[in-house]
Amino acid sequence: MRVVLFTGKGGVGKTTTAAATAVSAARAGIKTLVMSTDAAHSLGDALGVSLATARDDPDPVVEIEPGLCALQVSPTHSARRSWRSVQDYLLTVFKGLGIDPVVADELTQLPGAEEIIALLELRTQVESGLWDLVVVDCAPTAETLRLLALPEALAWHLDRLIPAQRGLLRALRPAASAATGLPLPGQQVLETLRQWQESLLEIQRILAAGTTSVRLVLTPERVVVAESRRTLTSLRLYGLTVDQVVVNRVFPDAAAPAQDCPEPDQAPAQNAWLAGWNVAQKRGLSEVRRSFEPLPIVIAPYLSEEPVGTDALAALAGARTGEVGDVLAAVPAQGMTVRPEDGGFLLTLPLPLVTAAEVDLKRRDDELLVSVVGQRRVLSLPSVLRRCVVTGAVVRNATLRVRFAPDERLWPVSARESVASE
Ligand SMILES: Nc1ncnc2c1ncn2[C@@H]1O[C@H](COP(=O)(O)OP(=O)(O)OP(=O)(O)O)[C@@H](O)[C@H]1O
Ligand SMILES: [Mg+2]
């Protein structure tokens, strides 16, 4: 059983790529469910079917073709009202409290009902044992990160806000509320919060499992690549494994070797516009490789029309080039990790076969440049690390370990850091 989530910047082709992956897997004999956490409901549009189920139909799963089902979050899902009460309560609390620094930036707004209910559905479907593969079409990056950060964030709040002794809470409610300046939850809200916490922790276990991975969809444009680099680091911050980068809407000439692509000034006038894009996309593709290798990179061509319907999606999947791989293959252990440690954060990056003397580390605005014998990797720092300074770096057991401490006064810093040997 595999879970594959697709995310990326708005409009890059997440829904199309997720649907194409699902169709091609199903046609290869894999029992597949494709579902969306995106309230925009464009999954049905991509598949060319209506995914709306009857109002009183308890089963939101629609069969698209043999081996392939799709699910759209029901607008009448029973969890909707319950989530609203959690949302209302937490929003009041967020206003009165500083929130966990790990999620502060991404969690300025709580996910909406559709997204969160989709995660509940994901849990139900994963636990149903009906599928070999569940493909999840996520909302654009910011919302996805907010969604993925939620289980931990909610747990963080509940641990601090809800005393274990409910009786005590009841007895002390007026005094405790006055003392903290925060509204204390009523018994019913308390019960609802606990149930949600349990569900969300279960969902977090599914997301962090070795059978779950995220695929980053992007287009070969500089702005998109820059955002995707940050997304990759942020996903690591939340303990998710990215196992593939899909570069979508690539012009055939841009994907071809250098000599096949004419420079704009050599191209006939009517092709100058296209030639210009080919050159720009070629540069974009090099940037993608520099940023994401050794992650597998898949190229999906820019088709001459919108791929709508299962046949068109299967054709798009079949036209992919690069390291497409087997969708059911085991998820590889992730390279870079970022985790809280001693009041700061520790970033680790496996660098096989290197010694400290061969590693050069530079901080440049919101990036960390790691150079190893002539090769450079640009690590885009997630927002939480951007507000930190590097306090030390060591190479131990072929892993670069960089320590960060929060220090807003020193931000931005553009200093060269030294790498110590141990
Ligand atoms: N490879 C492709 N070739 C041609 N058209 C494509 C390709 N990929 C996607 N499209 C088209 O681009 C548009 C956007 O694609 P899609 O809806 O999949 O993006 P998205 O990332 O899910 O967007 P959103 O952020 O709004 O959810 C759609 O009209 C889709 O048909
Ligand atoms: Mg979409």
Q: What is the pLDDT of residues 343-374, one digit of tens each?
A: 889 998 876 566 788 788 888 777 788 776 65
Q: Name the residue with the closest Cα to ligand 1, atom 25.
A: 10
Distance 422 CA to ligand 2 centre (A): 47
- Predicted TM-score of the model (pTM): 0.76
Closest CA to 80 of 123, 43, 118, 54: 118
Range from 33-42, 197-206, 214-223 that averages highest in pLDDT:
214-223
Beta-carbon contacts of 322 under 8 Å, excluding residues fewer than 6 positions away, are: 296, 297, 298, 299
In ligand 1, the atom with minimum distance to the C-alpha of 250 is: 1
> Which domains are assigned to the chain?
2-322 (3.40.50.300), 337-421 (2.60.40.790)
pLDDT in tens, 78-132: 787 788 777 777 666 655 555 444 443 334 456 777 778 888 899 999 999 999 9
Beta-carbon contacts of 276 under 8 Å, excluding residues fewer than 6 positions away, are: 264
Distance 338 CA to ligand 2 centre (A): 28
Which residues, by Cβ under 5 Å, contact ligand 2, an ion? 14-15, 42
Residue 320 tokens, joined: 């992919």
Sheet containing 420-421, strands listed edge to edge, beginning at the edge strand earlier in sequence: 337-341, 344-350, 399-406, 388-396, 420-421
Q: Name the residue with the closest Cα to ligand 1, atom 24.
A: 11
Ligand 1 contacts CB of residue 38 (under 6 A): yes
Q: What is the C-alpha separation between 401 and 418, in angstroms, rounded?
A: 12
Sheet containing 2-8, strands listed edge to edge, beginning at the edge strand earlier in sequence: 61-65, 68-71, 32-36, 133-137, 2-8, 212-218, 242-250, 297-301, 321-322
Q: What pLDDT, on the 0 to 100 scale, is given for residue 417?
A: 47
Ligand 1 contacts CB of residue 219 (under 6 A): no
Distance 46 CA to ligand 2 centre (A): 9
